[in-house]
Amino acid sequence: MSGVLAKIVASKEAEVRALGEGTGRARHRAGPRGGVERALRRGAGEPLRVIAEHKRKSPSAGPLSTALSPADRALAYARGGAAMISVLCDAPFFDGSWEQLLAIRDALDVAGLTTPLLAKEFVIAREQIVEAEACGADAVLVIARILDATRVAALCRAARELGLEPVVEVITDEELGWALDAGAVTIGVNARDLDTLVMDADRAARVLDAIPARCIPLYLSGLKGPDDVRRVAATKAHAALVGETLMREDDPTPLLASMIAASKR
């Protein structure tokens, strides 16, 4: 690891120490949660699922829209047809928080919506998965690039023990092997190299194509509009994550609708 990624992981090590000292929360998970596999698995002839993301900034894009509260944006996503909502929980680099995840979960519960939530964090320890579960997540991101094969397996096991679906993010064939050895079902391929922040759609397509049929392959980066959704819909991906593009919109509803429409073609 180098650059921004190394700085992010260093900040996580400090956060985990704080969580280990008792700052984690206990929260009542009211009502049933949405099924991750049911939401994301794409049957023959079915449209690509769209995962809509909430993040207020990123190292690659800088500041994004804050016109809507996290809860209101998530409600717009859920009512607009997003199959899952990804919520950035990192504070220093993405202006996220566990409190935002909890606020979104509470808002969806009050509205009677069961859209599953993905806690998108740079997870290096079980304590973070405990926090994700307490804040109402249905799934948690496990980024292979910041781990090794043994830790990927341990964190996937911890997530399942807490009732969460581990979504393993990979960039290379080697990392895909770690995910498969860990028994991961939901595997996302990031077109952006987390060390360099450079996009490589061809590399992502090759890794995506190597994911076995038993799994749920996700495409995790670089979708700018309906044309990109159509392109990914023609691959074996079951779902695609859209983040920065939606977060640049003060009202994401029209763009989300156009992307979901494109996924059906």
| Model confidence pLDDT, tens digit, residues 165-220 | 999 999 999 999 999 999 999 999 998 887 777 888 889 999 999 999 999 999 99
Q: Which is more confident, 220 or 222?
A: 220
What letter would DSSP give residue 20? Answer: I
- Per-residue pLDDT at 34 exceeds 90: no
Q: Distance between CA atoms of 82 and 68, rounded to whole angstroms?
A: 17
- Terminal Cα distance for the chain, rounded: 39
Model's pTM, two decimal places? Answer: 0.93
Given a cut of 70, whether residue 93 has pLDDT beyond it is: yes
Q: Which residues are CB-neighbours of 16 under 8 A, at least 6 positions away?
A: 124, 125, 127, 128
Q: Which residue has the higher pLDDT, 167 or 65?
A: 167
Please tell me the class of the 3-19+46-262 domain. Answer: alpha beta
Structure tokens at 177: 């092997």
β-bridge mates for residue 219, sequence order: 189, 240
